[in-house]
Amino acid sequence: EAGVAQSPRYKIIEKRQSVAFWCNPISGHATLYWYQQILGQGPKLLIQFQNNGVVDDSQLPKDRFSAERLKGVDSTLKIQPAKLEDSAVYLCASSLGQGLMETQYFGPGTRLLVL
């Protein structure tokens, strides 16, 4: 079974530039999560989708971050404009159902460096 795919794996940009990350969850998984993991810290949930609807985006900095999951499959996370403090690994995860009793499967992450 293919796992969660993410691209790109690495991205280096200058501050105030824009960047987009892509995630393809495991086939059939209804729930998709985007996490931000700053070096030395645990992941922080940015947004959770159930199919193509947003379940929770309370920790998403909406002035610069946006995410969508058209057709309830792939998802993109965009940062515009990027700040230095956005340097982190952006992890995508998916689970079969909704709820915190579900096992989440993580992608390899996209490492972003903002200069």
Interacting residues with another protein (CB under 8 A): 37, 40-45, 48, 55-56, 58-59, 89, 91, 93, 99-101, 103-106, 108-109, 111
CA separation for the pair 33, 3 (Å, rounded): 14
**Nearest to another protein of 36, 82 (CB atom):** 36
Whose Cβ is closer to another protein: residue 22's or residue 105's?
105
C-beta of residue 75 within 8 angstroms of C-beta of residue 66: no
Closest approach of another protein to the CB of residue 84, in Å: 20
Nearer to another protein, 72 or 81 (CB): 72
Taking the complex as a whole, the smallest distance from the CB of residue 16 to another protein amounts, in Å, to 26
Using alpha carbons, list the distances in angstroms from residue 91 to 45, 47, 109. Answer: 9, 11, 4
Shortest CB 53 distance to another protein, Å: 12
